[in-house]
Amino acid sequence: MRSNALPREVVNQLRFARQQAMSQRQAVTFQYNDTTKTITIFDHNNRSNSNPACNINGPAVLSAGGYPNTSCTTTMLTVPLTGAAVPSADLSYGVPSGVSNSTLADTTTPTSLTAGVVNITFQSDGSVVDAAGNYLNRAMFLYNNKIPNETAAAISILGASGRIKLWRYNPSASQFAE
């Protein structure tokens, strides 16, 4: 049951990061670290900051030195996803072997880890863009490697709207479904 609750926790933290970006009208980054199995939310403090060097355009945060932990960034929260109920060794990022269709119905595909992490930066309007300002769709896939088909889940984030959706793998249909 705890393995099935992990994707909901990821969705909750993604929604929190998006809501913070919109309410503060500035960039906020959600980071999943596959090595530590933690989520960290970074507040870039890039709007109305007393340090003028911090007041940069939202997408420019993505290419700022040290991104996502730039000189103006503060950590809002860190959430461990594993522990006694689900050991770190059991949580895997990606699509389990044997699952053939990993393109979701909203056309998102798996987002690869970069140096063991996935960063998703929400802009002040809730969207997700790349450093050039182009909308960027993301999809995170997680599963418990002891029971992969029963726990495989995906979370998609559509760049233009920032919409976050949870998908579960349906073994009998061989696809992820809402």
2-27 b/e (C-beta count within 10 Å ≥ 16 → b): ebeebbeebbebbebbbebbbebebb
Q: Quote the DSSP letter at residue 126.
A: S
DSSP string, 16-59: HHHHHHHHHTS-EEEEEETTTTEEEEEE---SS-SSGGG---GG
Based on the structure, what is the number of domains in the chain?
1
Tens digits of residue pLDDT in 60-118: 999 998 999 988 899 999 999 987 678 899 999 999 998 877 899 999 999 999 999 99
How far is CA 141 from its chain centroid? Answer: 10
CA distance 76 to 69: 11
- Contact (CB, 8 A) for 8 and 166: yes
Structure confidence at residue 56 as a pLDDT band (50, 70, 90): confident
CA distance 177 to 31: 24
pTM exceeds cut of 0.85:
yes
CATH number assigned to the domain comprising residue 117: 3.55.40.10
Domain residue limits at 109: 2-177
Does pLDDT of 15 surpass 70?
yes
Per the model's pLDDT, the better-predicted residue between 157 and 56 turns out to be 157
